[in-house]
Amino acid sequence: GAVVSQHPSRVICKSGTSVKIECRSLDFQATTMFWYRQFPKQSLMLMATSNEGSKATYEQGVEKDKFLINHASLTLSTLTVTSAHPEDSSFYICSARLGQGSDTQYFGPGTRLTVL
Amino acid sequence: DAKTTQPPSMDCAEGRAANLPCNHSTISGNEYVYWYRQIHSQGPQYIIHGLKNNETNEMASLIITEDRKSSTLILPHATLRDTAVYYCIVRVFQYSSASKIIFGSGTRLSIRP
């Protein structure tokens, strides 16, 4: 149980295009999901908290207009990197909280974004 | 959330117990100790968590000192597949809403054959 998937696992795009990454909780409902970014040889950096049915909460320094987050259902959150540039190339990871009574978060396998 | 301190790297022989330390001297009474690990190019994997009692599951054991200022994650019989970065995190347990996980730099554990 407690499986989180991400799609796609890898994506390569041209500079200036937008890329959408999906995060799904496969066997549980997640009212809250989190998005992280990880650059090579660095730790995970929290980007935003995604709440079902409401606006996401972004961490300081993360541009909300560039990283659009939508959490339209209890099993799906999407992150759209708009007008991507090479500096947006990174490993994007989502996590989902198991639910009330459990504050353990489970992570997806990550999406490797390369912007040319 | 309280800050944690971990050694940047450790190594351990295959088949032996791997003991990963973590200092969290400013931990508050309502903060739990969580451990995650990240194998190269994968998402983090939950290992174990605890408040003050020692905990054990199928993956590992967590030993928390009586003053709760430090803890040790024990992998009883390390295998090559345990090579990963291990993160010790302290955070408040939230029942009805999700609290953030802030990752530090972790410990890079290498298992040698």
Mind listing the pLDDT tens digit for each residue in B17-74?
A: 999 999 999 998 888 999 999 999 899 999 999 999 899 999 999 999 999 999 999 9
Give the CA count within 13 Å in the CB-facing half-sphere of B89.
Answer: 28
Give phi and psi for A20, each to the nearest 5: -110, 130
The answer to whether the Cβ–Cβ distance between B102 and A46 falls below 8 Å is yes
Angle, alpha carbons A80-A84-A89 (nearest 5°): 95
**Length, in residues, of chain B:** 113
Q: Which of B103, B105, B107 to mutate to test the interface with A (most CBs of A within 10 A)?
A: B103
Report pLDDT for B94: 66
Read off the tokens for B111. 């298992």
Taking an 8 Å cut-off on Cβ atoms, the answer to whether A103 and B99 are in contact is yes
d(CA B18, CA B14): 9
Cα B88 from Cα B35, distance rounded (Å) = 5
Helices (H) and strands (E) in chain A, counts: 0, 11
* pLDDT of amino acid A113: 97
Residue B93 above 80 pLDDT? Answer: no
Q: Which of A39, A42, A51, A107 to mutate to test the interface with B (most CBs of B within 10 A)?
A: A107
Between B70 and A105, the higher pLDDT residue? B70
> In chain A, which residues have their Cβ closer than 8 Å to the Cβ of B90?
none
Say whether residue A101 is in contact with chain B using an 8 A CB cutoff: yes
Does residue B91 surpass a pLDDT of 90? Answer: no
The answer on pLDDT for A91 being more than 90 is yes
